[in-house]
Amino acid sequence: MWLVWCGALLLVLKWFEVDPVATWSWWWILAPLAAAFVWFEFFERMFGRDRRQVEMAEYEKRAKQRVADTFEGFRKGRAGRS
Q: Supply the pLDDT for residue 70.
A: 85
Q: Supply the pLDDT for residue 77.
A: 65
Q: Supply the pLDDT for residue 82.
A: 46
The pTM score is: 0.56
Judged on CB neighbours under 10 Å (0-12, 13-18, 19+), 39 is: middle
Q: Supply the pLDDT for residue 12.
A: 95
CA distance 9 to 67: 41
Span between the terminal Cα atoms of the chain, in Å: 54
Give the 3-state secondary structure of residue 82: coil
Q: Supply the pLDDT for residue 33.
A: 95
Domains of the chain, residue spans: 1-47, 49-82
Q: Which residues of the chain have pLDDT under 70?
A: 49-50, 77-82
Q: Supply the pLDDT for residue 52.
A: 76
Q: DSSP string spanning 4-60?
A: HHHHHHHHHHHHTT-TTGGGS-HHHHHHHHHHHHHIIIIIHHHHTHHHHHHHHHHHH
